[in-house]
């Protein structure tokens, strides 16, 4: 143990959380309806591989959750949109 009032040997960024991997995909299709009107169909997926991206561990010393990972980033999310251009 280090004496009170001195710094220890624990360096900054020595606690590293799990890696983060995310892959987003979008498909876009434009369709002409007339000479001046067209539509755009867009389909988007975020985190398309649905990989669990966990948060960093809790770093509050003395708490019951110290060192535990208690959450994760969003799972796969998809959205569809249709836009009319005139």
Phi, psi dihedrals of residue 4, rounded to the nearest 5°: -60, 135
Residue 76 lies in a domain: yes
Total structural domains within the chain? 1
pTM reported for the whole predicted model? 0.65
Residue 80: inside a domain, yes or no?
yes
**Displacement of CA 62 from its chain's centroid (Å):** 28
Q: What are the pLDDT digits (tens) for 14-39? A: 777 888 999 999 999 999 999 999 99
69 inside domain: yes
Residue 7 is assigned to a structural domain of this protein: no
- Residue 1 belongs to a domain: no
Range of the domain at 55: 25-85
41-69, pLDDT tens digit by residue? 999 999 999 999 999 888 888 888 888 88
């Amino acid at each position: 143990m280090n004496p009170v009032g001195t710094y220890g040997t624990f360096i900054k960024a020595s606690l590293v959380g799990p890696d983060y991997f995310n892959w987003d995909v979008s498909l876009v299709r434009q369709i002409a309806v007339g000479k001046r009107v067209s539509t755009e169909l867009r389909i988007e997926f975020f985190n398309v591989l649905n990989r669990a991206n966990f948060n960093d561990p809790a770093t509050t010393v003395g708490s019951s959750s110290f060192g535990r990972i208690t959450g994760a980033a969003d799972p796969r999310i998809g959205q569809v949109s249709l836009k009319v251009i005139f």
